[in-house]
Amino acid sequence: MSEQDPRAASEEEQGGFRVSEGRAAFEIGAVLLALGALVLGALALANHFADRLVARVPEAADRTLGDRSAELLALGSTPCPNPAALAYVERVAAPLLAALPDRRFEFRFRVVRAPDVNAFALPGGNVVVNSALLEAAESGDEVAAVLAHEIHHVTRRHGTARMLRELGASALLTLAFGGTEVAVPAKLAHDFASNAYDRAQEAEADRLGLELLARAGLDPRGMVHFFERLAKSSVSPPELLSTHPDPGGRAAAAELAAASAKPRITLPSPREARCE
């Protein structure tokens, strides 16, 4: 019986290891590819049905959902103690609501103490404005631009559609992966991919908000200036990782839409509307 060359055995083991490593990489890649396809398919399917299902959901559901959400948020937020802040927001919103063709929802505004330069709309007409936004805004036109954007999240029922989409996608992913370890990366992939749908809603709210500003006789350049400063602040995440479009791109789109606008209303400055 001949004795095997140790070097040959070593090379054979290394070769076998290389084959196994390549096969493992291939299998992992195939699993990730299949996982991505399933997640994107579930998301696309959920989005497809959400857009159609929202029209069948009574508008009273938006108001109920928004009111309950507002109650829960109120428990964790501090109202602005200066009544002038809310009065200012309602004054800026008045010409927008007067020019709004869609009168299905009754709008209610709140100003809360919060350090983020932000505002958000809940289904049914609740709009919350952070005190930091009033402090950061340099003109009433900038505040009006944000409010016009949020108003159209309500009229387009984006919050309700998003809720239906998330429920549908979660149900499909749970059905596919259950409580397995694969469910975790599947959920992460779903959240990452769903940003594209959120950005589409944000872009629509921008476009309709600009139209509303012009219809109300306000200066759409407020949206231009607001997004230009946001783009220069370097505090927003990359567009791909954000639910909002890139601020620079939003400013350019707003500039184009505002080119032919002829504002006839001058809004007061937000300087006197701070919480302090």
Describe the crossing of helices 247-258 and 183-215 by its angle, rounded to 10 degrees: 20
Q: Computed over its alpha carbons, how large is the radius of gyration of the chain?
A: 25
Q: Is 198 a catalytic residue?
A: no
Which residues in 183-216 are b (16+ Cβ under 10 Å) and which e?
eeebbebbeebbbebbbebbeebbebbbbbbbbb
| E-strand stretches of the chain | 78-79, 108-113, 119-121, 126-130
Q: Give DSSP secondary structure letters for 84-123.
A: HHHHHHHHHHHHHHHH-S--SS--EEEEEE-SSS-EEE-T
Q: Point out the catalytic residue in the list 62, 142, 150, 202.
A: 150
Within 10 angstroms of residue 227's Cβ, the number of other Cβ atoms is 25
Q: Is 247 helix (H, G, I), strand (E, B) or coil?
A: helix
Annotated catalytic residue, options 202, 206, 228, 246: 206
Cα 114 to Cα 133: distance, rounded to the nearest angstrom: 9
User: Cα(213)–Cα(41) distance, rounded to whole angstroms?
Assistant: 37
- Can you state the angle between helices 183-215 and 83-99, rounded to 10 degrees? 70
Helix (H) or strand (E) holding 38: helix 6-53
Note if 206 is an active site residue: yes
Only one residue has tokens 């949020």, namely 150
- Which residues are part of the catalytic machinery? 150, 206
